[in-house]
Amino acid sequence: MQTEPDLAGTVFAGCKIISKIGQGGMGSVYKAHHEALDKFVCVKLLSADLARDQRNIEFFLREARSAAKLEHPNIVHVYNFGQENGSYFIIMSYVEGKSLQDLVTEKGPLPVKEATDIMTGVLQGLAHAHSKSVIHRDIKPANILVGTDGVPRIVDFGLARSITEEKQLTMAGEMVGTAYFMSPEQGLAGTVDSRADLYAAGATYFYILSGKYPFDGKSSIEVIHKHIGEPVPNIILLRPDIPLWASRVIERLMRKKPEERYQTAGEVIEEFAKHPDGGEAPSETQEATYEIPELTARISARAVQQPEASLESSQPHSPAPTVRQPAPPPPQPWQQPPAAAPGEKPDARAARPALQMAALHNGLKAAMHFSLTLAGTGCFILAGASGRSAGLAAPLATNPVTAGMLALAGTVLFIWALWQKPLKFTPGYALFLAAAAAAAYAGGAYIPAPAGADTVAKAFLAVRIGLENMFSPANLIVYALFLYIAASKAVFKNWGLKAFAVAAYLCGLALTYFYFKAGAEISPEKVWLAVGGALSLLGVAAALTQRNFSLFFNPQLLFLAANLAMFAMFTNPQVERITDQKFRTEEAAVKKANLRNMMEYQQAMFAAQSEVTYDEEGRPIPPKLPEKPAEVLVTARGKLQNQARLEYYGDLGMRISGTLAGSAGIIFVAFFLALMANVIFVEEMMAAYREQDLF
């Protein structure tokens, strides 16, 4: 590689070079004084190494041609470009200031108003570029210069191209752009239009507001894969003081499908204009967003209309009447039931009212139990939502009294529901209720809500986000879990429930497949595909033939193994890919180390052999030769594979927990677990009444 000459003090293309101010991927950038224009300018020179490739020259000159078409205060101005003394150059306006990347590095996340004002200027520049049929394709904080006047200017049109340009300088299937801010269509090397710039602007807005990339990873491929397949993280989870409108703008700018985003930069500018102070617009107060006044009015009206019912429902329920009824007195002659109809058993008409009363009693108990578990789950959601920030420890740290009282209320309601059970305490039932309480608390604790939102508003927001994301791909694994548990409860029942169980098992298996597939461009392992198919067939056979639990031919275990095979089918190729990367990196390092050791050994041998010494009698003393260094070996592939597996599973766990928290999918988990506790209650109640010959 050639060393770039220092041009300071020289005159180049009519500009006196003052000093070097930067080194980019394409070459060097100098501050200079344009003698004809009598102003300071920037001179960008293409690296001599890159200039050997004609394609790099075309990229460089295309930047100049693209920027030269544009005349806008938010885009750097190009004065001249061409070739001089064998060097390709671009002369552009000089901006006294720093890049947006440097500003965030120095100051941290920017205030909402400052960030919005900067992005408004960037979008105005993009709107002008798009009107000239030029798309930038590499919008990022490092390519936005903020002058001392506070005006942002877009630089580096090296990847820009005209929408109508016939000659494509990018090769087929080649990705261009920066991974952290790259749109999904760029990551897939597909057709790119101006909406790709809007996606990158949304990622940039996310970064300067939070100080973090929307998606991060250990490699560019991993980051690009997340842009393609994972939902956009909710920025409010990282910075709770961000207003909801800013979160909505980012979410819409960064939607996966271009047609679902804002279609022009002007639309985003109009949205920003609705919030000149960086906060909520006057017409978008928190009350209007969550509709708290309407909910409060409904609750108040209901309390006024049904005071007696509310008071009665607030009294503790005495379990004594439902546990043991006093034996009825012997029927008197005038109380004998009517005579039985011909062909009817003598006691049939007497049994029918008792049967109807038992069914009504069971229905009331089931409804009571359902209400208690539902209310208890809601109390735990409120307990989690009582914190002033996101996090499991936030409620106990910031609002311990409210969180403790709500958690105690939920516990009391769950104990009351437990008291209704015929068998009282059972491990499965207790496990479902404890898991429902934990999931509800976590769902409330991690809900993204604006600063200042009260506990009730955050709880309603949790439920609302959960309903909005009911069919989100991020929740597929949740529904797969639901179907598996529901099928496992029904598989040993009658034929109708067996058919439901088989369908639920197969649907859950399909959801597991689509969740882990998640748009990944990998080929699943055929061995695991065959294993999963065989296990699912055995599971169907076991579900249809087994009437009771079996340790070996068990549909629950077989379908669990089939789901694990689906998991392995898609994760093993990912683990192998990471392992290959680790192996190649270590192999290169080992080769380098062995080469260095061998060279040092050969130098030591040469020095030892060339140096001749003699004893006192003048006889030559044999040289002391150095020992040959031991060869450095590459770490065993199995060990590297274990490391790769741990890394991948860690990233996968973070992805699942992050998506569940962001989409409020964990709220679904909480209510489903409470529902399963109700299923156990109904089963126990029906079994108890069968024993009493009431069913």
- pTM, two decimals, is 0.42
What was the pLDDT predicted at 532?
84
User: Would you state the structure tokens that stand for residue 192, as one six-digit string?
Assistant: 């790119």
pLDDT of residue 692: 54
**Cβ burial, residue 634 (10 Å; 0-12/13-18/19+):** middle
Give buried/exposed letters for 276-298 (b at 16+ CB in 10 A, else e). Answer: eebebeeeeebeebbebeeeeee
HEC assignment per residue over 540-576: HHHHHHCCCCCCCCCHHHHHHHHHHHHHHHHHHHHHH
- In the prediction, which pLDDT does 630 show? 82
What is the distance between the alpha carbons of residues 383 and 401, in angstroms, rounded to a whole number? 10
Residue 602 is inside which H or E element, if any?
helix 555-610
pLDDT digit string, tens, across residues 333-369:
444 444 444 454 444 444 445 445 556 667 788 888 8
498 sits in which H/E element: helix 495-517
Q: What local confidence, expressed as pLDDT, does residue 308 receive?
A: 41
CA 395 – CA 405 distance, rounded (Å):
11
All residues at 6 or more sequence positions from 165 whose CB lies less than 8 Å from its CB, including other chains: none
Q: Which helix (H) or strand (E) holds 333?
A: none
d(CA 9, CA 233): 49
So what's the pLDDT on residue 413? 92
Counting Cα atoms < 13 Å in the Cβ hemisphere of 644 gives 20
Q: Which residues of the chain fall short of a pLDDT of 70? A: 1-6, 24-25, 158-177, 278-361, 390, 424, 448-453, 462, 465-475, 518-525, 655-665, 689-695
